[in-house]
């Protein structure tokens, strides 16, 4: 009986896995900060405060990603380093294909909402991001 119940729970869990809705991929646009990282062995590291944010900008499944440094006056220090970003749909997965003059890599976009994004590396490291709403932006992303 216990084995049957565990098997049924496993099927329900796998069947309910959340897929990324590619039609909402523009949700990635904007500033994000890493809130925690969980490695493949389950070790977790929290990031309660970050000075470095990740900025994503895509349109029609193409765009870029760059790191920006937050300043106390609410602005960001930006340099010329960025990664080109292409969104690829492979079967049921949404893959972020990054490339720059320093190399290439692909990560899986596991989930995304207006508040949180989870990206998984090939090494099974999960990066949890929180959306950053700037003071001059409203909830819908428009400048006030």
Backbone angles phi, psi at 15, to 5 degrees: -65, -25
| Tally: H helices and E strands in the chain | 1, 10
Choosing among 3.30.70.100, 3.30.499.10, 2.40.128.280, 1.20.120.530, the CATH entry for 23-132 is 2.40.128.280
Residues 25-42: tens digit of each pLDDT: 999 999 999 999 999 999
pLDDT attached to residue 72: 86
Residues 101-144: tens digit of each pLDDT: 999 999 999 999 999 999 999 999 999 999 998 765 544 444 44
Assess whether pLDDT exceeds 80 at residue 13. Answer: no
pTM beyond 0.75: yes
- CB contact at 8 A, 111 and 125: no
- Reduced to 3 states (helix: H, G, I; strand: E, B; else coil), residue 79 is coil
pLDDT bucket at 19, cuts 50 / 70 / 90: confident
If you average pLDDT over every residue of the chain, what do you get? 84
Domain ranges within the chain, ordered by starting residue: 23-132
Assess whether pLDDT exceeds 70 at residue 81. Answer: yes
């Amino acid at each position: 009986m216990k084995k049957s119940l565990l098997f049924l729970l496993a099927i329900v869990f796998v069947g309910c896995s959340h897929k990324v809705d590619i039609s909402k991929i523009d949700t990635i646009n904007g500033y994000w900060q890493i809130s925690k990282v969980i490695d493949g062995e389950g070790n977790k590291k929290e990031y309660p405060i970050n000075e470095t944010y990740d900025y994503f900008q895509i349109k029609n499944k193409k765009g870029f990603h760059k790191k920006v440094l937050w300043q106390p006056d609410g602005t960001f220090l930006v340099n010329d380093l960025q990664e080109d970003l292409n969104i690829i749909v492979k079967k049921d997965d949404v893959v972020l294909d990054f490339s720059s003059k320093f190399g290439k890599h692909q990560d899986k976009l596991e989930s995304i909402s207006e508040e949180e994004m989870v990206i998984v590396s090939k090494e099974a490291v999960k990066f949890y991001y929180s959306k950053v709403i700037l003071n001059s932006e409203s909830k819908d992303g428009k400048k006030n």
